[in-house]
Amino acid sequence: MDYSEAIQDLTIPTKAKYFKDKYVCLIDNEEDIVDKFMASLSFSSDDVKLISRATQGQSSNNLWFTMRKGLITASNFQAIMNNEDPDHICSRIIGSESLSVKNKFQELALDWGRRKESKARNLYQTAHGLKRNKCITETGLVVNPKYPCIGCSPDGVITCKMP
């Protein structure tokens, strides 16, 4: 299924453009603009499910890159907490920095994940799945409906099947 059109309106940049076009001229100061924009961001539970389904495959899926723009993700959270090079962090968050030679580390990390995550899931399933009725489901980007600027891309979601 092609999710491109279905999730286009859910990206943070699209939501920001809509907010700017509709509300910025009505707000007097910059702090109020930020506060009101943050208050306007939201994802319904259906949005969260759609984003997760549409971005399965993660770094092998172009929609995954699109949906991460504007989100604080687990991948950049440590750099944010350590206040590492704010300009670089902002470029990563808004998506203006693409994978390039200067960002070789990120490219290597994505490649490593593509090669190893499936094997890790299978090993975990073999070691733990049958004993505890656990199932590992692949997922895409998971956004937090309570904090819509935060997201992560887990290697899998473990669920327990009760007998």
Q: Are 150 and 70 in contact (CB under 8 A)?
A: no
Q: Are 139 and 84 in contact (CB under 8 A)?
A: no
pLDDT at 102: 47
pLDDT tens per residue across all 163 residues of the chain: 678 888 888 999 899 899 888 887 877 888 888 888 888 899 999 999 999 999 999 988 989 989 998 898 887 888 888 887 878 778 777 776 554 444 666 677 778 877 888 888 888 888 876 666 777 888 999 999 999 999 999 988 888 777 6
CA distances from 4 to 16, 28, 100 (A): 18, 35, 24
128 half-sphere exposure, CB direction, 13 A CA radius: 13
Question: What residue type is assigned to position 26 of the chain?
Answer: L
pLDDT at 131: 64
* Cα separation, 57 vs 91, whole angstroms: 24
pLDDT at 96: 60
pLDDT at 137: 85
HEC per residue, 58-110? HHHCHHHHHHHCCCEEHHHHHHHHCCCCHHHHHHHHHCCCCCCHHHHHHHHHH
| pTM for this model (two decimals) | 0.79
- To 5 degrees, how large is the angle CA 46–CA 47–CA 48? 90
pLDDT at 130: 60
